[in-house]
Structure formats: structure tokens, C-alpha cells
């Protein structure tokens, strides 16, 4: 059994829980997810089955879309609604739409984020949440993440000295939306946290493409799977003939072909419509291409 299974992860489960249950339902051990979702978060979680697990990174690296609610006026130790309150500051005068829009615009592009202490990022071999649960602090490495789109999609609601509004975020891998909510608050001059989150798109899949774990148990597994090559649909395609295909299946380094996709660093290789491999321009040998992934046939 090989393919991509777009799962709608429901609240109350970890991403690993979903993988564990999918293995039992599908009766296969080769199941992997494509980007962790916290237990309180629901949304699109593509699962890679069988040979598709070799391509999980291509879905993980693809853009994701989220709808989040930002709460201005209160910060928490986890940066979301599940954590203990760290700081509060009443919002006593309205935040102007212009000010909010300026803040959102300033966060579009490549920005620096510091992962939250309650996250799965590893430092010195331990995950940050392990330090946090032990009451320890550790220096967290900042990293650059990409925000492609960031827009306000609801009106600001004022209640009990707090302001809440929803945003839609299209971003690259490694982005923490709860940290983004905190950054929005900081730029407005207030503590803040992310009060709700839904992942609405991942790897080109949306909710309408997904099944729940409950639906998985009632359906024929083959009817739910998308083709393995769905994971690399964003890559340029290079179509080859039989003789070259044999060399590709053996993982050979090849001369740069005349029909290599224009300006492509990496391409998906096909023979008669069948996905064979991913090749890329060789980083050290000029005029050569090398295999990145060769799929079992």
C-alpha cells in the first residue's frame, strides 16, 4: 500500500496518535506524518503511506495555510490558550485598523522567530518542552521563517480588557503561528497569545480532500489514497525513455540532458507516466545531475 492519505486531524490527539491509529486501521507500519499539529489544533495532516514515506519532506517543506485567533492583552507560558498566564495588560482604547494592518504587513516576508519553550525543537539532544516541564531554561536558537501572506479576516472583538481577531497565514516550514501571535501583540504594545488554530491547507490538500480517522475505519484503504507523486506535484517534470530509466533506477549520476526543465535545480523523473525518481543538478560536478530519491519499482 503506497500513497498519500490526507487526514483531518481532530482536536484532542497528537500527530503521533494519528499515525499510531492509522497504522492499525491500514494494517501497515510504514506510516509517517508531514508536520506536527498540537493536540488542541485541528486541521489538514497528510499521512505518507508505504513508499510515500520517502517523500514526506517534500510535503513538510511545502507551504501551509492556517486560520488563527489572536488574543491581545494576555500572554501565556505556552503562547497558546493551554498555558498558564504570564502577563496581562488591559486594552483600554481601541486598536486602529490601520495600526493592525501596518503590523501584519511588517511581518510578511522572511522573519526571525525564536521557538517557544513548549515546542518539540531539540537543543543539546533534548526537546524544549522537556526543559520547560522540568522548570529549566535554555538558550533557544532563533531561525528565519517565511510568511507569504498574512491578513486579518475578522473584526476585532473587545471583551473584558482583551481584543480578539482572526488571521489567515500562508507560510513556509518551521513557522510557529503561536509565536507569530505573540509577535503581533508585541508590535502593538501588548502581551498576546494564540487562542485558536486550524490548519486549512498542507501539501496542496484542503479539508474537502481529507478523511477523519473514523471515516478511515469505514472505507476501503485504496479509495482514500492519493498517488505517491502527489507529494512532488510542485516539482518540474523530466520525461525519459527506457534506456535512461534503467540508469536512473540504478541511481546513476548522469550528464545534464538537453531536455532538462529550464532553470530547474530539481526535477521529478517520469517514464511513460510512472514516477521514477527525483534528480537535481550536481552541486560539485559541473554538467552533471544526481539522484536525490529513487523510488522502488
Catalytic positions:
38
Helix boundaries (H) for the chain: 15-26, 56-60, 97-106, 128-133, 177-188, 213-218, 221-224, 242-249
Q: CA-CA distance, 46 to 35, in Å (whole number)? A: 8
Residue 277 host element (H or E): strand 274-281
Which of 67, 63, 8 is closest to 233 using CA atoms? 63
Q: CA-CA distance, 37 to 80, in Å (whole number)? A: 13
Residue 115 cell numbers, joined: 521557538
Q: CA-CA distance, 166 to 198, in Å (whole number)? A: 11
Residue 10 host element (H or E): none
- CA 264 from centre of chain: 23
Q: Is there a contact between 167 and 197 (Cβ–Cβ < 8 Å)?
A: no
Helix (H, G, I), strand (E, B) or coil at 61: coil
- CA 197 from centre of chain: 13
Q: CA-CA distance, 6 to 33, in Å (whole number)? A: 10
Q: Is there a contact between 198 and 38 (Cβ–Cβ < 8 Å)?
A: no
Amino acid at each position: 500500500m503506497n500513497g498519500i492519505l490526507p487526514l483531518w486531524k481532530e482536536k484532542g490527539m497528537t500527530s503521533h496518535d494519528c499515525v499510531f491509529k492509522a497504522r492499525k486501521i491500514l494494517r501497515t507500519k510504514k506510516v509517517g506524518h508531514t508536520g506536527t499539529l498540537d493536540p488542541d489544533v485541528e486541521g489538514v495532516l497528510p499521512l505518507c503511506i508505504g513508499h510515500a514515506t520517502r517523500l514526506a519532506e517534500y510535503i513538510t517543506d511545502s507551504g501551509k495555510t492556517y486560520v488563527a485567533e489572536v488574543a491581545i492583552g494576555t500572554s501565556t507560558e505556552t503562547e497558546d490558550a493551554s498555558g498558564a498566564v504570564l502577563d496581562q495588560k488591559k486594552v483600554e482604547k481601541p486598536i486602529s485598523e490601520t495600526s493592525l494592518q501596518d503590523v501584519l504587513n511588517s511581518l510578511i516576508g522572511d522573519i526571525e522567530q525564536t521557538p517557544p519553550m513548549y515546542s518539540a525543537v531539540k537543543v543539546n539532544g533534548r526537546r524544549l518542552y522537556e526543559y520547560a516541564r522540568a522548570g529549566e531554561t535554555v538558550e533557544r536558537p532563533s531561525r528565519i521563517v517565511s510568511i507569504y501572506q498574512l491578513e486579518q479576516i475578522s473584526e476585532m472583538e473587545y471583551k473584558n480588557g482583551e481584543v480578539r481577531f482572526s488571521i489567515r497565514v500562508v507560510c513556509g516550514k518551521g513557522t510557529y503561528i503561536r509565536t507569530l501571535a505573540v509577535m503581533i501583540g508585541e508590535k502593538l504594545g501588548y502581551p498576546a497569545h494564540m487562542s485558536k488554530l486550524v490548519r486549512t491547507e498542507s501539501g496542496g490538500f484542503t479539508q474537502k480532500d481529507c478523511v477523519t480517522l473514523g471515516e478511515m475505519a469505514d472505507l476501503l484503504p485504496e479509495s482514500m489514497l492519493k498517488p505517491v507523486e502527489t507529494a512532488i506535484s510542485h516539482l518540474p517534470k523530466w520525461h525519459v525513455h527506457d534506456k535512461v530509466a534503467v540508469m536512473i533506477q540504478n541511481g546513476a549520476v548522469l550528464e545534464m540532458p538537453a531536455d532538462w526543465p529550464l532553470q530547474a535545480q530539481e526535477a521529478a523523473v517520469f517514464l511513460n507516466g510512472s514516477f521514477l525518481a527525483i534528480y537535481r543538478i550536481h552541486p560539485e560536478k559541473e554538467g552533471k545531475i544526481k539522484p536525490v530519491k529513487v523510488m522502488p519499482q
